[in-house]
Amino acid sequence: MYEEILRDIGLSLNESRVYEALLSREANVQDISLLSKVHRRNVYDALAKLSEKGLCSELFVKGEKRFRAINPTRLLALLKEKEEKVNSILPAMEEKLKAVEEKEEAYFYKGTEGFKNYLQSILDTNETVYFIGAKAFWLDERLKHFLPRFERERKKKGIKFMHLFDHEVKTDKPDILKLVGKPYKFLPPDYSSLTAVDIFGPYVVTFVGVKPGELDQEPIQFVMKSRRLADGYRKFFQFMWDNC
């Protein structure tokens, strides 16, 4: 019943089965083996590991060794201990990653899963996002299941959006204006295209084959990662913004 969740939080298969068996009754090794369907010799190893984790204890009843489960709230304490261990090394790990991320590179994301990576990059960068030729393709039906979570995180972090929409969005997809909020402006009618460019942090992300409210059938995002390049694009954006 609980095996899958117990394994997700770090218990082995045998540990999960033995612990679940002990939740129903205190028992000796033979009974635990029968209840958990774990071979007797493996039960000993699972009990030792559960004991180390503080999830079971042993007792003697009329000279017989038995085992019983510790209150399941101990599982929360285990998770907390793991979280504290990760937090203790996160700063050093992030510094190492930051050193790597400063490298200039180019790659692409493909499909809706790639689009999720793009959204996560926005959250991780935590800087203002500048959109050139925005198409409201965030309204695409394929994105509706994970965009709400992104929007909650984006607003929680206070990440600001500045949109230069294609002219058609104003009449064809006005719902996007309420979703993303101000500030936004519109490009002149003669400057619409099937491309869009997003700039945030060190990233310049280009979309192709996009139109109002819809991604391409197999969306591709070309990603260029360079703070110098992104700073230049932000100047282009500012010129367009000032003249729209």
Residue 137 CA to residue 226 CA, distance in Å, equals 25
Residue 199 CA to residue 182 CA, distance in Å, equals 17
Q: What are the distances in angstroms from CA 11 to CA 4, 19, 102, 105?
A: 9, 9, 38, 39
pTM of the prediction?
0.57
Q: What is the 3-state secondary structure (H, E, C) of 14-60?
A: HHHHHHHHHHHCCECHHHHHHHHCCCHHHHHHHHHHHHHCCCEEEEE
At a CB cut-off of 8 Å and minimum separation 6, what does 230 contact? 199, 200, 201, 202, 203, 204
Could you say which of 3.40.1190.10, 3.40.50.1240, 3.30.870.10, 3.40.1050.10 is the CATH number of the domain covering 103-242?
3.30.870.10
Could you say which of 1.10.10.10, 1.10.260.40, 3.30.70.120, 1.20.81.30 is the CATH number of the domain covering 3-74?
1.10.10.10
Name the band, by pLDDT with cuts 50, 70 and 90, for residue 222: very high
pLDDT in tens, 162-217: 999 999 888 888 888 888 888 999 999 899 888 899 999 999 999 988 778 777 78
CB 123 within 8 A of CB 237: no
At 174 the pLDDT is: 84
pLDDT in tens, 58-99: 888 888 889 999 999 999 999 999 899 999 999 888 888 777
Residue with tokens 């793991």: 82
